[in-house]
Structure 1
Amino acid sequence: MGTGHYFWVIFYFASLCSASLANNAKINFREKEKKVLDQILGAGKYDARIRPSGINGTENMPTYVYVNMFLRSISKIDDYKMEYSVQLTFREQWTDERLKFDDIQGRLKYLTLTEANRVWMPDLFFSNEKEGHFHNIIMPNVYIRIFPNGSVLYSIRISLTLACPMNLKLYPLDRQICSLRMASYGWTTNDLVFLWKEGDPVQVVKNLHLPRFTLEKFLTDYCNSKTNTGEYSCLKVDLLFKREFSYYLIQIYIPCCMLVIVSWVSFWLDQGAVPARVSLGVTTLLTMATQTSGINASLPPVSYTKAIDVWTGVCLTFVFGALLEFALVNYASRSDMHKENMKKKRRDLEQASLDAASDLLDTDSNATFAMPLVRHPGDPMALEKLRQCEVHMQAPKRPNCCKTWLSKFPTRSKRIDVISRITFPLVFALFNLVYWSTYLFREEEDE
Structure 2
Amino acid sequence: MGTGHYFWVIFYFASLCSASLANNAKINFREKEKKVLDQILGAGKYDARIRPSGINGTENMPTYVYVNMFLRSISKIDDYKMEYSVQLTFREQWTDERLKFDDIQGRLKYLTLTEANRVWMPDLFFSNEKEGHFHNIIMPNVYIRIFPNGSVLYSIRISLTLACPMNLKLYPLDRQICSLRMASYGWTTNDLVFLWKEGDPVQVVKNLHLPRFTLEKFLTDYCNSKTNTGEYSCLKVDLLFKREFSYYLIQIYIPCCMLVIVSWVSFWLDQGAVPARVSLGVTTLLTMATQTSGINASLPPVSYTKAIDVWTGVCLTFVFGALLEFALVNYASRSDMHKENMKKKRRDLEQASLDAASDLLDTDSNATFAMKPLVRHPGDPMALEKLRQCEVHMQAPKRPNCCKTWLSKFPTRSKRIDVISRITFPLVFALFNLVYWSTYLFREEEDETF
Give the TM-score normalised by structure 2. Answer: 0.97
Q: What is the CA deviation profile of residues 12-66 of structure 1, one whole-angstrom value per residue up to 9, with x for unaligned ones? A: 1211111111111001000000000000000000000000000000000000000
Aligned to 2:444, what secondary structure does the other structure show?
coil
Could you tell me how far 1:376 is from its partner in structure 2?
5.3
Would you say 1:430 and 2:411 are equivalent positions? Answer: no
Q: Aligned partners of 1:379, 1:309: CA distance in 2, in Å?
A: 75
Q: What is the CA deviation profile of residues 281-303 of structure 1, one whole-angstrom value per residue up to 9, with x for unaligned ones? A: 11111110100000000000000
Q: Aligned partners of 2:133, 2:270: CA distance in 1, in Å?
A: 67
Would you say 1:307 and 2:307 are equivalent positions? Answer: yes
Q: Aligned partners of 2:284, 2:339: CA distance in 1, in Å?
A: 33
Could you tell me how far 1:139 is from its partner in structure 2?
0.3
Could you tell me how far 1:318 is from its partner in structure 2?
0.6
State which drifts further: 21-30 or 391-400.
391-400
State which drifts further: 379-388 or 117-126.
379-388
Could you tell me how far 1:441 is from its partner in structure 2?
1.4
In structure 2, relative to structure 1, the CA distance for the partners of 1:350 and 1:380 (3 Å cut) is farther
Counterpart of 1:260?
A: 260
Q: Aligned partners of 2:43, 2:377: CA distance in 1, in Å?
A: 141
Could you tell me how far 1:382 is from its partner in structure 2?
4.8
Q: What is the CA deviation profile of residues 78-98 of structure 1, one whole-angstrom value per residue up to 9, with x for unaligned ones? A: 000000000000000000000
Would you say 1:386 and 2:350 are equivalent positions? Answer: no
Q: Does the 8 Å CA contact 2:173/2:444 hold for their aligned counterparts?
A: no
Q: Aligned partners of 1:47, 1:296: CA distance in 2, in Å?
A: 57
Aligned to 1:189, what secondary structure does the other structure show?
coil
Q: Aligned partners of 1:360, 1:49: CA distance in 2, in Å?
A: 131
Q: Aligned partners of 1:405, 1:210: CA distance in 2, in Å?
A: 56
**Identity among equivalent pairs (%):** 100
CA RMSD of aligned residues (A): 1.4
Gaps of 5+ in 2: none
State which drifts further: 8-17 or 55-64.
8-17
Q: What is the CA deviation profile of residues 156-196 of structure 1, one whole-angstrom value per residue up to 9, with x for unaligned ones? A: 00000000000000000000000000000000000000000
Q: What is the CA deviation profile of residues 105-140 of structure 1, one whole-angstrom value per residue up to 9, with x for unaligned ones? A: 000000000000000000000000000000000000
Could you tell me how far 1:389 is from its partner in structure 2?
2.8
Q: Does the 8 Å CA contact 2:174/2:444 hold for their aligned counterparts?
A: no
Q: Does the 8 Å CA contact 2:76/2:84 hold for their aligned counterparts?
A: yes
Could you tell me how far 1:10 is from its partner in structure 2?
1.7
Could you tell me how far 1:446 is from its partner in structure 2?
6.4
Could you tell me how far 1:383 is from its partner in structure 2?
5.2
Could you tell me how far 1:7 is from its partner in structure 2?
1.9
Aligned to 1:241, what secondary structure does the other structure show?
strand
Could you tell me how far 1:378 is from its partner in structure 2?
6.3
Q: What is the CA deviation profile of residues 265-319 of structure 1, one whole-angstrom value per residue up to 9, with x for unaligned ones? A: 1111111111111111111111101000000000000000000000001111111
Counterpart of 1:14?
A: 14
Q: What is the CA deviation profile of residues 395-442 of structure 1, one whole-angstrom value per residue up to 9, with x for unaligned ones? A: 211111111111111111111111111111111111111111111111
Aligned to 2:445, what secondary structure does the other structure show?
coil
Aligned to 2:443, what secondary structure does the other structure show?
coil
Q: What is the CA deviation profile of residues 197-231 of structure 1, one whole-angstrom value per residue up to 9, with x for unaligned ones? A: 00000000002000100000000000000001000
Give the TM-score normalised by structure 1. Answer: 0.98
Q: Aligned partners of 2:156, 2:199: CA distance in 1, in Å?
A: 20
State which drifts further: 375-384 or 320-329.
375-384
Could you tell me how far 1:11 is from its partner in structure 2?
1.5
In structure 2, relative to structure 1, the CA distance for the partners of 1:399 and 1:128 (3 Å cut) is same
Could you tell me how far 1:373 is from its partner in structure 2?
2.8
Could you tell me how far 1:384 is from its partner in structure 2?
5.1
State which drifts further: 51-60 or 4-13.
4-13
Counterpart of 1:220?
A: 220
